[in-house]
């Protein structure tokens, strides 16, 4: 029996991260060979060690793997990360190193997907945010992602790059310090109360499996030079998430506002327009937040 022919080799940075695990599964199911770049020791032949802050490391990996595609998901994504400088060293310089290394290796990739963030829109709370919304970042994470976007655009005449701006998304495996996993874990442990910060925030939540599907679709689509929101277009309030979890788990939880969790620069509303995403890829299967929450509770 012959092995199926690969649709190409994808170098996936952040392969052992939350999103990377689902991106790998999505790509492999579609017939791609995936080489995951990870920090630390590789666990198998489908992984390579890579510190993206080292240009020498990036060059060595590009020469070794010689990928047909690059899906760049690695970066510091926790907004409250303590080391401000690290945002720029990893998110900006790390991305630059990858692009420079591809050019130095003489590669002609079919597509490069680079994950930015909807946080670059800042506190723009009126209406639905499209890709033409002027950026207004309000923290180091968002500023580093916007700086990365500007740097990446200096390469679009040489490399086929698409930039994605994912809004909030969640699922099994997301780190417990993120909002939805924290809420789910409190309910699954049947805690009497939960301490949260700003209760009036609204977020556009997607399921991580939809995000992985969108990333694979953009890798395959002729969309070089584009910037694309990854979002559902549906707002969910914090109170609404609590209400859904109470219905799923069958009990009410006391919500306490902890002033230590209240951010002065909190983005109040982040609601994205998925119109461009749908125009490029068609309507992606929508997974309601209730379904995602039930999936997480059952894990």
**Quick check: is 215 catalytic?**
no
Chain segment 271-286, per-residue pLDDT in tens? 999 999 999 999 888 8
Can you give the pLDDT at residue 123? 79
Residue at 121 is within a domain? yes
Residue at 252 is within a domain? no
> If pLDDT is split at 50, 70 and 90, which confidence band does 270 have?
confident
Interstrand relation of 202-204 and 235-237 (parallel, antiparallel or unpaired) = antiparallel
Can you give the pLDDT at residue 1? 39
- Separation of alpha carbons 157 and 250, rounded Å: 55
Quote the distance between the C-alpha of residue 20 and its chain's center.
9
> If pLDDT is split at 50, 70 and 90, which confidence band does 2 have?
very low
Residue at 107 is within a domain? yes
Nearest to 230 by CA among 266, 270, 183: 270
Quickly count: other Cβ atoms within 10 Å of residue 99's Cβ: 21
Q: Averaged over 151-180, what is the pLDDT?
A: 96
Full domain range(s) for residue 70: 9-171+207-232+267-286
Strands (DSSP E) found in 101-158: 111-115
- Say what angle helices 94-104 and 140-153 make with each other, to 10 degrees: 20
Chain segment 193-220, per-residue pLDDT in tens? 999 988 778 889 999 999 999 999 999 9
Residue at 70 is within a domain? yes
Residue at 246 is within a domain? no
Long-range contacts of 175-181 (CB under 8 A, 24+ apart): 175/18, 175/78, 177/78, 178/78, 179/203, 179/238, 179/241, 180/205, 180/241, 180/293, 180/296, 181/296
Specify whether the CB–CB gap between 154 and 259 falls below 8 A.
Answer: no
> If pLDDT is split at 50, 70 and 90, which confidence band does 259 have?
confident
Residue at 239 is within a domain? no
Chain segment 122-139, per-residue pLDDT in tens? 876 567 899 999 999 989
Can you give the pLDDT at residue 265? 64
Q: Is the pLDDT of residue 264 over 80?
A: no
Residue at 176 is within a domain? no
Chain segment 141-164, per-residue pLDDT in tens? 999 999 999 999 999 999 999 999
Contacts of 271 (CB under 8 A, 6+ apart): 127, 128, 129, 167, 202, 203, 204, 231, 233, 234, 235
Strands (DSSP E) found in 14-86: 33-38, 47-49, 69-72
Q: Which comes out higher in pLDDT, residue 235 or 244? A: 244
Can you give the pLDDT at residue 78? 60
Quote the distance between the C-alpha of residue 105 and its chain's center.
27
Q: Averaged over 27-51, what is the pLDDT?
A: 95
Can you give the pLDDT at residue 6? 77
Q: Is the pLDDT of residue 3 over 50?
A: no
Q: Is the pLDDT of residue 23 over 70?
A: yes
Chain segment 52-66, per-residue pLDDT in tens? 999 999 999 999 999
Three-state SS across 215-234?
A: HHHHHHCCCCCCEEEECCCC
Task: Name the catalytic one among 22, 32, 141, 215.
Answer: 141
**Torsion angle of C-alpha atoms 100, 102, 106, 112, degrees rounded to 10:** -120
Q: What is the CATH number of the domain that holds 108?
A: 3.40.50.720
Nearest to 131 by CA among 96, 91, 166, 95: 166
- Could you give the number of structural domains in the chain? 1
Residue at 199 is within a domain? no
As a whole-number percent, the residues of the chain with pLDDT over 90 amount to 77
């Amino acid at each position: 029996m012959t092995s199926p022919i690969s649709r190409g080799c994808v170098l996936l940075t952040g392969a052992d991260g939350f999103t990377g695990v689902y991106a790998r599964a999505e790509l492999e199911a579609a017939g791609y060979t995936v080489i995951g770049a990870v920090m630390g020791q590789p666990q198998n032949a489908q992984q390579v060690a890579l510190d993206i802050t080292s240009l020498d490391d990036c060059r060595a990996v590009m020469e070794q793997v010689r990928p047909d595609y690059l899906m760049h998901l690695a970066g510091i994504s926790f907004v409250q990360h303590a080391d401000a400088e690290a945002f720029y060293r990893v998110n900006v310089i790390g991305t630059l190193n990858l692009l420079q290394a591809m050019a130095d290796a003489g590669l002609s990739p079919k597509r490069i997907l680079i994950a930015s963030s909807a946080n670059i829109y800042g506190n723009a709370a009126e209406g639905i945010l499209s890709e033409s919304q002027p950026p207004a970042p309000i923290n180091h994470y968002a500023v580093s992602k916007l700086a990365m976007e500007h740097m990446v655009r200096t390469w679009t005449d040489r490399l086929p790059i698409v930039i994605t701006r994912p809004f909030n998304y969640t699922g099994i495996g997301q780190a417990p310090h993120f909002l939805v996993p924290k809420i789910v874990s409190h309910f699954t442990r049947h805690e009497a109360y939960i301490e949260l910060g700003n209760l009036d925030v609204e977020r556009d939540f997607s399921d991580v499996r939809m995000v992985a599907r969108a990333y694979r679709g953009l890798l395959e689509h002729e969309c070089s030079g584009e910037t694309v929101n990854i979002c559902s277009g549906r707002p969910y309030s914090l109170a609404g998430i609590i209400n859904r979890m109470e219905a799923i788990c069958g009990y009410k939880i006391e919500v306490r506002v902890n002033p230590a969790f209240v951010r002065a620069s909190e983005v109040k509303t982040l609601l994205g327009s998925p119109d461009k995403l749908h125009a490029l890829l068609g309507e992606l299967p929508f997974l309601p937040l209730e379904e995602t929450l039930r999936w997480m509770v059952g894990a």
